[in-house]
Structure 1
């Protein structure tokens, strides 16, 4: 399986059976599955979606958005809780207008779940932790 490093964004190949062993990035030596958020943009979003081996939940957000700011800690906490099962990424819509346009982002925050490079589900609006986890479980069932 291939995983994008949340620290340096390099692509790493990891044996599926070693995911529970705390794999580290070959380039920066950062932990690949510690629940850190990937910060993606117009230049690396598509490749990350296509090549990342775990389900990838992408939060399209903006700094000026109140609901986005309210949801940020919930998103980060859930990322740490589900580390090794689902990866979490953020895309600043102001810094990545092409990515936002190509995924038809009309309101923020919008969360899109990608599995195997394909969109599996999408939801808009700030969610409490329980609702976010329930939605993810439903999408991954």
Structure 2
């Protein structure tokens, strides 16, 4: 692994070059000065999805969901808790399939909630169905260990 990683700011989408060891020291974006990691789940749209998935050099886990979906709503707090635990090693994000149908179609999302694990622009794994916090963390860590 390289000692330098590119991290896309979830606020302004600027790419930041950081030494890997600085990820745990609450780094700020060089452009907008906001925190690169806040333990918050990023909400992705068409433009931000491409930037975050393709240019980040840390894995991204995306929750494909919809506001009308009961299991999606029940899993949302667990996904948010998992983000607090997994950052800065893993970035967590959400895509609303109703407003971002092009993205959902591109990745052939058939059921929701669906979690998709991306690394360097490629889908490496996916998991369908609602999970609790511990199950989300366990799944993400098991995928991370494989790659």
* TM class by smaller structure: over 0.9
TM-score, normalised to structure 2, is 0.89
Q: Structure 1 unaligned segments of length 5 or more: list them.
A: none
CA RMSD of aligned residues (A): 1.3
What are the residue-to-residue correspondences of 1:103-118 with 2, within 5 Å?
103-118=107-122
Tell me the secondary structure at the aligned position of residue 104 of structure 2.
helix
Counterpart of 2:90 in structure 1 is 86
TM-score, normalised to structure 1, is 0.93
Counterpart of 1:99 in structure 2 is 103
Q: Structure 2 unaligned segments of length 5 or more: list them.
A: none
8 Å CA contact 2:13–2:51 kept in 1: the answer is: no
What are the residue-to-residue correspondences of 1:7-18 with 2, within 5 Å?
7-18=11-22
8 Å CA contact 1:42–1:97 kept in 2: the answer is: no
Distance in 1 between residues matched to 2:76 and 2:96, nearest whole Å = 12
8 Å CA contact 2:78–2:132 kept in 1: the answer is: yes
Tell me the secondary structure at the aligned position of residue 51 of structure 2.
helix
1:64 and 2:68 are equivalent in the alignment: yes
* 4+ aligned runs moved over 6 Å, structure 1: none
Q: Among 2, 8, 15, which residue is 1:4 paired with?
A: 8
* Cα deviation digits, residues 4-60 of structure 1 (max 9, x gap): 222333322222232122110123222112212221112221231111111100011
Question: Which range moves more in the overlay, 25-34 or 117-126?
Answer: 25-34
